[in-house]
Amino acid sequence: MNLLREIRARFASALSPLGVEVQPLLELILPSKDAAFGDYQANCAMPLGKRLGRKPREVAEEIIAKLEVADLCEPPEVAGPGFINLRVRDDYLLEQLHTASGDLERLGVESAESPRTVVLDFSSPNVAKPMHVGHIRSTVIGDALCRVLRFLGEQVISDNHIGDWGAQFGMIIYGYKHFVDEAALAEATVPELTRLYKLVNQLIEHHDAKLRGIPELEAKIEDRADALAELESAEPTGDKKADKQAAKKLKAAQTQLAGLRSELTSLTQKVAEVEADPRLSQLAAAHPNIGTDAIGETAKLHAGNAENQALWERFLPACLAEINATYDRLGVTFDHTLGESFYQPLLAGVVEDLTEKGLATESDGAMCVFTEGHAAPFIVRKKDGAFLYATTDLATIKYRMQEWKPDALLYVVDHRQGQHFDQLFATARLWGYEDLELQHVAFGTVMGEDGRPYKTRSGASVGLMGLLDEAVDRARAIADKSEVLASDDERQEVAERIGIGAIKYADLSHNRTSDYVFSYDKMLAMNGNTAAYMQYSCARVRGIFAKGDVDVEELRASGAKIVFSEPAERALGIALLRFSEALERVASDYRPNHLTAYLFELASRYSEFFVNCPVLKAETEELKQSRLLLCDLVARTIECGLGLLGIRTVERM
């Protein structure tokens, strides 16, 4: 039962005779922050009073008179300027808790009445290039959303839209043709391909920095330094506002210049690195056109060149095996993995159709869609005839609509692609997909503790597997300290669950749109809103059953009842009932952090209960049974919640 939704439905009936738009008012009905004000609080009388030109308290009284909640709540109370406070009836609460307790699979959470079909596009790395920490966000957030939406009854089709047709293949093919170590390739394909990719990339970056990046930056820095000097030399005008503005401008100019200088340093370092290495500098000299030549290899692949096609077919399976190993370790699966290459045969048709419909027009030789609110055109075919990321995404929408007829397409992708998705969605609407929900489920950057995008000490972005290994290694220290884990195998298994769980939970517990700081110490802390704490809480509850030698299944079947004898029991009961509200919030704005926040809150309520209410030593047998039932429900709710985040629990730790 979703109590909040039920209460809102009752308010909707009470509010509708007032002849105002009800939905925004319903959003002002929320769980109370302070238990002194009941369990739920409706703050709709204040804006309503203002709109109707009446006293909010009066309006609140009128709403209450019409509100039919007697079966759910104690008589509502009006407080302060016009808050309506609701306290859930204990008998109702207990009844709901019994339903949840008896429902092994769903804990009383109802399934959607009219399920939607949702395509979830997530993870979607560019293969043949090492997956990095950014991809973990898409993978972990997407997987959690997939699980939550499915649990709520939606039809979810998960599709890993891998980049398997991009420029990285041209680079690898170039690398293969010039630098391959066949023996190494035969022994372990992916490490050799990775080496080739990195080498070619390094050489391209080297040339690019020397010929273009560094001179351009130097010119820019000179220009900005002059501008800054001018700002610095300006005398204060005496006008406070103008001076304040000037100071702000000065600060901004300084920051910008510092940014450019650090960019220059990093480019200079890259060049120096190549030049300090005789082998690399020789290679750089021998391959002056590597950038354009690698692009040429990609173009040949796209044009159907037999040799490049064969190389692509040879390399792809190893690349897929590599990413699948990562997914296995993370426990993530997909219904489909339809990468960019899959859509290639459809691209020409997409551009033709857009052109016929008058949506794509020629500009400077390229075919472009102009959409409202965007200065830049959405290019679907380049001057040289090449199709783009945009074209593939349009073909993908068409394919998904034809195959699966979804109600929504969700893309869990880095926020830096915001402009791409804005234009993609605008184009799709023009193209006729008007009733479709299109969402860019964007997320921020993973930052290092130094405040810059997360990198290892050597400066290379961290490979995903290495990242997982390190988390598990560090989690092993926690497992090693445990006195309850019996064998080395068990300690390793627990370390794996804590380590992987820590990375996932850290990612999921941050509001996805903000950047977050990647810190092993923080994510593996035993206290606070972390996976380890939640896993520990759960194991601690289960520990009570072991200690008391209680058979949970017998307990559940015994007909024992939950009763409230202490405020902490009731508070825990309310928290348990809010599970479905938390899940629905996740589904409403695609933010898994509502669920982690809920679980943390539940664990806190449990701690209070644990301190105040002896379980195995309860005063009566009836009370003991009741408290054991509550414990069981807590453990199952945490297990279910973590499970929906893709995180495994442990029996003991």
Q: Would you tell me how many other CB atoms lie within 10 Å of the CB of residue 383?
A: 12
Q: Is 156 exposed, middle or buried (0-12, 13-18, 19+ CB in 10 A)?
A: buried
Which one of 121, 143, 164, 632 is in contact with ligand ARG (CB under 6 A)? Answer: 121
- 124 or 637: whose CB is closer to ligand ARG? 124
Residue 124 within binding range of ligand ARG, rule CB under 6 A: yes
Report the nearest approach of ligand ARG to the CB of residue 163 (Å): 4
Which class for 17: exposed (0-12), middle (13-18), buried (19 or more C-beta within 10 A)? exposed
- Contact present, 505 and 523 (Cβ < 8 Å): yes
**Interaction of residue 136 with ligand ARG, rule CB under 6 A:** no
By CB under 6 A, the residues from 410 to 429 that bind ligand ARG are: 411, 413
CB of 409 to ligand ARG, least distance (A): 9
Question: Between residues 143 and 393, which has the closer beta carbon with respect to ligand ARG?
Answer: 393
Q: Of the two residues 39 and 143, which places its CB atom closer to ligand ARG in the complex?
A: 143
The least CB distance from residue 330 to ligand ARG, in Å, is 17
* Rounded least distance, CB 512 to ligand ARG, Å: 15
| Residue 96 found at the interface with ligand ARG (CB under 6 A) | no
Handedness of CA 518, 520, 526, 531 (dihedral sign): positive
143 sits near ligand ARG (criterion: CB under 6 A): no
DSSP-derived pairing of the beta strands 408-414 and 437-443? parallel
Question: Judged by CB, which is closer to ligand ARG: 338, or 583?
Answer: 338
Report if residue 213 touches ligand ARG, rule: CB under 6 A. no
Q: Does position 573 bind ligand ARG by CB under 6 A?
A: no
Question: Is residue 337 near ligand ARG by the rule CB under 6 A?
Answer: no
Which residues share a beta bridge with 366?
363
Q: Which stretch binds ligand ARG (CB under 6 A): 124-132, 248-256, 539-547, 586-594?
A: 124-132
- Size of site (CB under 6 A) for ligand ARG: 10
- Choices 40-48, 123-131, 231-239, 295-303; region in contact with ligand ARG by CB under 6 A: 123-131
Q: How far is the CB of 161 from ligand ARG (least distance, A)?
A: 4
DSSP 8-state symbol, 164? -
Q: Kindly tell me which of 381 and 624 has the beta carbon lying closer to ligand ARG.
A: 381
What mask of x and - would describe binding to ligand ARG in positions 385 to 404, judged by CB under 6 A?
A: --------x--x--------
465 to 484: interface string for ligand ARG, x by CB under 6 A: --------------------
Q: Measured between alpha carbons, how far is residue 540 from residues 350, 552, 637, 648, 653 in Å? A: 57, 15, 14, 15, 8
Taking a C-beta distance cutoff of 8 angstroms, is the pair 57, 51 a contact?
Answer: no
Pairing of strands 117-121, 155-159: parallel
142: contact with ligand ARG by CB under 6 A: no
Phi, psi of 503, rounded to the nearest 5 degrees: -65, -45
- Minimum distance from residue 122 beta carbon to ligand ARG (Å): 8
Q: Residue 437 or residue 551: which is nearer to ligand ARG going by CB? A: 437
Q: What gap in Å lies between CA 53 and CA 76, rounded to an integer?
A: 23
Tell me if 340 sits within 8 A of 166, measured CB to CB. yes
Q: What tokens were used for 116?
A: 């939607």
Among 56, 76, 125, 501, binds ligand ARG (CB under 6 A): 125
**Site stretch for ligand ARG (CB under 6 A), options 59-67, 89-97, 117-125, 501-509:** 117-125
Does 596 help bind ligand ARG (rule: CB under 6 A)? no
- Residue 396 or residue 529: which is nearer to ligand ARG going by CB? 396
CA–CA dist 323, 571 (Å, integer):
45
* H or E, element range at 154: none
* Residue with the two structure tokens 């690698």: 294
| Shortest distance (Å) from residue 469 CB to ligand ARG | 22
Residue whose tokens read 């995180």: 647
CB-facing half-sphere around the CA of 211: CA atoms within 13 A: 12
Under rule CB under 6 A, residue 161 binds ligand ARG: yes
- For 554, the token pair is 């017998």
Give every CB contact of residue 607 below 8 A, 6+ residues apart in sequence. 537
Nearer to ligand ARG, 30 or 320 (CB): 320
CB 546 to ligand ARG: min, Å = 46
Q: How many CB atoms lie within 10 A of CB 265?
A: 11
Closer to ligand ARG at the Cβ: 395 or 603? 395
Show the 3-state SS of 434-487: CCCEEEEEEECCEECCCCCECCCCCCCCCEHHHHHHHHHHHHHHHHHHCCCCCC
Q: Which of 2, 96, 126, 427 binds ligand ARG (CB under 6 A)?
A: 126
Candidate segments 120-128, 216-224, 585-593, 607-615, binder of ligand ARG by CB under 6 A: 120-128
Residues engaged in binding ligand ARG (CB under 6 A):
121, 124-126, 161, 163, 393, 396, 411, 413
